[in-house]
Amino acid sequence: MTVVAVVGAQWGDEGKGKIVEAIAPKAALVVSYAGGYSPGSTLVVEGERFVLHVVPAGALRSGRACLLAQGMALDPRLVLDELAILEQHGALAAPLEIDQRAQVVLPHHVLLDALRDESEGASGSPRRGVGPAYMDAVARRGVRMGDLLTGDGLAQRIEASIEASAHALRELGGEVPDPKAVHDEYVAAGEKLRARIVDGSRRITDLTAEGGTVVLEGPFGTMVDVTHGYYPFVVGSSTVAGGACVGTGISPRSVDKVIGVAKAYITRPGLGPLPSEVTGDLATHLQDRGGELSPTSARPRRCGMFDVPVLRYAARVNGFDEVALTKLDVLTGLDEIPVCVGYELDGDVRDEPPFEGQSRMQPLTEMLAGWRESLADCRTYAELPANARAYVEFIERNAGVHITRIGVGPDRAQTITR
């Protein structure tokens, strides 16, 4: 029995999809344990690009079943749309199931998300209602996927949820949806999903008891975890490895391995602290070569030099057994590469992201030598240029992690296993 958690070490978009793919051949089940809408998990299969917002990339591997677990907040309309696209491409080769305890995103959650984000100055949130659905969950008026099937108290719960948001919706100039229409639409969506709605916690336990391997894929990254990230610039769920147990309903003792995924530089969607942020030519290089565009605004993502304290912190909080370093190829062509090795905050040196004073901290930088050779065709560690290996080993040494996989391009084959 093996349960492997794959967790973002930074702010998300680290390339987890490809790493899950790299380990998925051994997996009977790929599970998403939190979140409900990613800006787009891109997977390139033999030159063809797929962008998935809800369904985990592992679904594209034939024979790998997927589970959207109970820690998620899902819009069933979106799930149905994505399933239809996958079926059309013949890419849904394995079953996709949804936990009965997953929260349901209702239309007014989506509306509220968009209106709030607009009025608060466009944070870069995808505005898909996931945050408001989590708010209703902790306020104990959330609707769960299984409720769409049983119907027990469903109409009242939908009404209460809409009622609780009605004032804010009107204030922000939005229309309040009709509870009856929402009820009917969601019952119909639930009916279409009926065969897929299961007890996910039980499913994982049974599968592992039979000897199957399960991959638990985290959303976003450690630095936007609702508790462990740079609060309040965080998402509504627990993205860290501990969240994998809460979000799936399995024991912490059943997670055998935790793999962290870190990009060879930093990107951060939206607002909030980014101590290693870079501007000018280096930012342009990373944005252009790394394809770092925000899918919601099509604006370049904020970029930063590699942040060692963030990886050191993520490794400690998540307990990484191994780290996959992705997008190393993006650094090709730089004469020298700055790396953030610590922060100075009010005269002290910090080796992990501090709880306080985030707007005052200054990065401490070391310069490493760059390389000009393309990494695209490197398939072994030894084939990497000496300075690229030195970069990997510098990160490894300074963050105290073991880097076992290195991404040298977007294609499935472009991952070096060390």
Binding site for ligand GDP (CB under 6 A): 8, 12-18, 38, 41-42, 44, 291, 326-327, 329-330, 407-410, 414
CB of 8 to ligand GDP, least distance (A): 6
CB of 57 to ligand GDP, least distance (A): 6
The nearer residue to ligand GDP, 126 or 179, going by C-beta atoms, is 126
The nearer residue to ligand GDP, 18 or 128, going by C-beta atoms, is 18
The nearer residue to ligand GDP, 197 or 317, going by C-beta atoms, is 317
The nearer residue to ligand GDP, 202 or 299, going by C-beta atoms, is 299
**Type of residue numbered 243:** G
The nearer residue to ligand GDP, 148 or 331, going by C-beta atoms, is 331
CB of 244 to ligand GDP, least distance (A): 15
CB of 158 to ligand GDP, least distance (A): 31
CB of 21 to ligand GDP, least distance (A): 9
The nearer residue to ligand GDP, 147 or 329, going by C-beta atoms, is 329
The nearer residue to ligand GDP, 17 or 363, going by C-beta atoms, is 17
The nearer residue to ligand GDP, 142 or 218, going by C-beta atoms, is 218
User: Whose CB is nearest to ligand GDP?
Assistant: 407
CB of 72 to ligand GDP, least distance (A): 15
Residue 56 CB partners (closer than 8 Å, separation 6+): 17, 20, 30, 31, 32, 41, 66, 68, 217
CB of 407 to ligand GDP, least distance (A): 2
CB of 14 to ligand GDP, least distance (A): 4
- Cα angle for residues 412, 415, 416 (degrees, 5° grid): 150
- Asked if residues 91 and 60 have their Cβ atoms less than 8 Å apart, the reply is yes
